[in-house]
């Protein structure tokens, strides 16, 4: 390895010399989008990508970085989303306060179940998180008097004093929400990258490689696992709250197993352990149903196929694989071989 990639670069696989330039271009492009996108449909598409990417980035910290698994993360998303409705409706909390309140609730739930659940590993953890996600779904689906049941429930408008935030139903609303969600995804991304490249991120990777060795290196692994679990839940819950106010409507499907699986597929496709991979995976899987609109019925089958193909052929995901090929191409160009 060359000297330019110093010992302090922990993520060799996903670090690529030109990567930073690409990110800057992407950022600039996203900022210019509101002036370019033709109609509401396009704004909505980008917003959906941002929402999914936020959850995916958080899940990636738990699964890709720390090596755990969660098949029920949609449950946290739904809990956040439903807080946007239930807190103002039943506790009279102003909608603006419902945002941090909902996030706190999700964090508390994650803290409560994280301790016991994360003592488990592998299949057991997978199955219990799956059960959690389904439990949230069953609860939301069967308590019609509180949550509106399978038909879902309308979300009150987000108000700040006398100002009301429109939902994504209008063009004006969708433009405002684009900016809001863009800020959110940027914050989410920057935070994730900061964690990844810090001493905390390094310890999380150690947990993934050998939990027992990490303990013997003096690290309180149990607290660390709960920390990353709660953090990933906060990502999901935050995305959920904002998504609820954006769409103006919530329903139990937000927590179903299919969404949890889509989330896992996003990070697997994009590259486990790579924040930008999570974003790309989210983008691809959000756009795919629209591109394959004719094949809407095959959505489940396609998802399953992607998972299987990725696990057999692209286990590291798109971004690390591409990153490696690009680095090789770059090195060959510079005759380093």
Partner 1 sequence: MHDAIIDIKGLSKSFGGVLAIDALSLSIRRGRLTGIIGANGAGKTTLLNLICGVFKASSGSIHVDGQDISGLKPHELAQRGITRSFQNLQIFGDMTALENVLIAVQSRYLKNYLRLVLPLKSVRADEKKWHSDALQWLALVGLESVADREAKSLPYGLLKRLELARAIALEPKCILLDEPAAGCNSTEANKLMDVIRSIAGRGVTVVLVEHNMKVVMNLCEEVFVLDRGRLLCSGTPDTVGSDLRVVSAYLGSTNWDEAK
Partner 2 sequence: MIIQFVLSGLTTGAIYALVALGFTLIYSCSDVINFSQGEFVMIGGMTAAILCETGIPLPVAIIIAIAVACVIGGLVYELAIRPARTNDRVVIIILTIGVAIFIKGIAQVVFGKQLHKLPYFSGEAPIHFLGATLTTQALWVLGGAAAIMALLLVFFRFSIAGKSFIAMSANRFAAVLVGTNVRLNLLVSFCLSATIGAIGGILITPITTTSFEAGTFLALKGFAAAVLGGLGNAPGAVLGGLLLGTLEALSAGYLSSTFKDAIAFLLIILIMLVFPQGIFSPRQHERV
Interface with partner 1 by CB under 8 A: which residues?
A: 1, 5, 7-8, 10, 12, 191, 194-195, 198-200, 202-203, 205-206, 208-210, 212-221, 224, 227
Which of positions 96-155 make contact with partner 2 (CB under 8 A)? 116-117, 119-124, 126-128, 130-132, 134-135, 138-139, 142
Among 146, 219, 307, 326, binds partner 2 (CB under 8 A): 307
Among 6, 312, 335, 336, binds partner 2 (CB under 8 A): 312
- The alpha carbons of the chain give a radius of gyration, in whole angstroms, of 20
Helix or strand or coil: residue 69?
Answer: coil
Alpha carbon 312 to chain centroid, angstroms: 23
Closer CB to partner 1, residue 143 or residue 210?
Answer: 210
Long-range contacts of 138-146 (CB under 8 A, 24+ apart): 140/78, 140/82, 140/252, 140/254, 140/255, 141/252, 146/86, 146/90
Closer CB to partner 2, residue 130 or residue 285?
Answer: 130
H helix runs in 92-170, sequence order:
95-117, 122-142, 144-147
Closer CB to partner 2, residue 30 or residue 146?
Answer: 146
Among 190, 304, 325, 329, binds partner 2 (CB under 8 A): 304
Closer CB to partner 2, residue 34 or residue 115?
Answer: 115
Phi/psi of residue 3, nearest 5 degrees: -70, -25
Annotate 261-300 with DSSP letters as a single string. Answer: HHHHHHHHHH-TT-HHHHHHHHHHHHHHHHHTGGGGGGHH
Q: Closest approach of Cβ 153 to partner 2, in Å?
A: 18
Q: Which of 288, 63, 109, 96 is nearest to 180 (CA)?
A: 96
Q: Closest approach of Cβ 59 to partner 1, in Å?
A: 18
74 binds, among partner 1, partner 2, none (CB under 5 to 8 A by kind): none
CA distance 298 to 288: 11
Which of positions 163-222 make contact with partner 2 (CB under 8 A)? 212
Tokens encoding 174? 């969708």
Q: Closest approach of Cβ 238 to partner 1, in Å?
A: 17
Among 42, 197, 257, 314, binds partner 2 (CB under 8 A): 257
307 binds, among partner 1, partner 2, none (CB under 5 to 8 A by kind): partner 2
C-alpha dist (Å) from residue 165 to 33, 49, 156, 162? 21, 21, 10, 10
Tokens encoding 150? 């399978």
Tokens encoding 55? 């959850």
Site string for partner 2, 55-94 (x = CB under 8 A): --------x---x-x-x-----------------------
Burial class from Cβ neighbours inside 10 Å (0-12, 13-18, 19+) for residue 160 reads: exposed
Closer CB to partner 2, residue 299 or residue 324?
Answer: 299
Size of the site for partner 2 (CB under 8 A): 45
65 binds, among partner 2, partner 1, none (CB under 5 to 8 A by kind): none
Q: Which residues bind partner 2 (CB under 8 A)?
A: 63, 67, 69, 71, 116-117, 119-124, 126-128, 130-132, 134-135, 138-139, 142, 212, 257, 261, 264-265, 268, 297-308, 310-312, 315
């Amino acid at each position: 390895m060359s000297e330019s990639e110093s010992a302090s670069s922990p993520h060799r696989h996903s670090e690529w010399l030109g990567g930073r330039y690409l990110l800057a271009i992407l950022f600039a492009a996203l900022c210019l989008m509101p002036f370019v996108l033709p109609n509401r449909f396009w704004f909505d598409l980008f917003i959906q990508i941002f929402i999914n990417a936020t959850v995916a980035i958080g899940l990636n910290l738990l699964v890709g970085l720390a090596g755990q698994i969660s098949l029920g993360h949609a449950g946290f998303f739904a809990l956040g989303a439903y807080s946007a409705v239930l807190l103002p409706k039943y506790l009279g909390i102003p909608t603006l306060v419902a945002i941090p309140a909902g996030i706190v609730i999700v964090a508390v739930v994650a803290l409560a179940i994280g301790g016991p659940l994360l003592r488990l590993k592998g299949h057991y953890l997978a199955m219990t998180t799956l059960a959690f996600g389904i439990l949230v779904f069953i609860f939301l689906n069967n308590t019609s008097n509180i949550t509106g049941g399978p038909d879902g429930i309308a979300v009150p408008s987000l108000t700040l004093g006398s100002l009301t935030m429109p939902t994504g139903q209008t063009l004006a609303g969708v433009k405002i929400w684009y900016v809001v969600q863009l800020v959110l995804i940027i914050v989410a991304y920057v935070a994730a990258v900061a964690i990844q490249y810090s001493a905390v991120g390094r310890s999380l990777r150690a947990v993934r490689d050998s939990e027992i060795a990490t303990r013997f290196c003096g690290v309180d692994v149990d607290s660390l696992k709960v920390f990353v679990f709660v953090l990933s839940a906060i990502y999901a819950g935050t995305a959920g709250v904002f998504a609820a106010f954006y769409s103006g409507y919530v329903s139990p499907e937000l927590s179903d197993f299919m969404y949890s699986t889509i989330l896992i597929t996003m990070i697997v496709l994009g590259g486990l352990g790579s924040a930008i991979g999570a974003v790309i995976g989210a983008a691809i899987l959000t756009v795919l149903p629209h591109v394959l609109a004719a094949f809407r019925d095959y959505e489940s089958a396609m998802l399953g196929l992607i998972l299987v193909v990725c696990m057999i052929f692209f286990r590291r995901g798109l971004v690390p694989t591409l990153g490696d090929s690009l680095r090789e191409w770059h090195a060959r160009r510079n005759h380093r071989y």
